Structure 1
């Protein structure tokens, strides 16, 4: 599956009350999604993606495809955390939402990943750019494609 993700902000962003409501809805979607991820709630987090979603991040050797594989990856992360005692938190900001003619949304945001060792001090671990394609399914948003890039690897 190939997805086209916008890499440049639109010179004239959408405006108005309707867009404001959409923007708030997308922010709430991401707030819940990141909390599910950081809490290792594998299946609920995987359900925020389409069945055939692609999750492409530089920390994995290859893109993860599909909900089952996404959930499995979160369970693996939970096992690693249990061993290391480290807690990761993902903080999203500078969210840009671009509605597309087909009804999908292209989003781009900055993601800060904080790492807190057991008994230690929290520090910024990674600075990333996250680009998603969101599609409507049964009245809710789902991610069909996520691409994450890291500033230190650019």
Structure 2
């Protein structure tokens, strides 16, 4: 798929091997994995960081290569069941963080036109994501503004 704000194609990369069941060497109980996911969420980690932590550190020293294969649920589904789901989706949150950072930089450096363009592109992506999530993940009345983003990020 092509990139949103350039004429170039997307970058290629390797794919994860197709697997139907977790590997034999990772025999961690699904309940232990779910407990660890909730514990990491309570510490303030995002779902992507939780997945990386489980892959690297694991549960009781045993790595978990794929949470969905081991438990049958995605990390966000586990968080939803245990009422530990973040207020706004992670991708939207990260884009808002970036937009606030770019806006602060633009205020200090008025001649940085590349930054202004990056801010326009980022806010465009945010508006598209808000339209996508409106009603399901976000309120119907939610509208992106810089002030609303600053409030949400505090």
If the TM-score is normalised by the length of the shorter chain, which range does it land in? under 0.3
Question: TM (normalized to structure 1)?
Answer: 0.23
Please report the TM-score for the alignment, with normalisation by the length of structure 2.
0.23
Q: Which has the higher contact order (CA 8 A, sep 6+)?
A: 1
Answer 1 or 2: which has greater strand percent: 1
Q: Which structure carries more helix by proportion?
A: 2
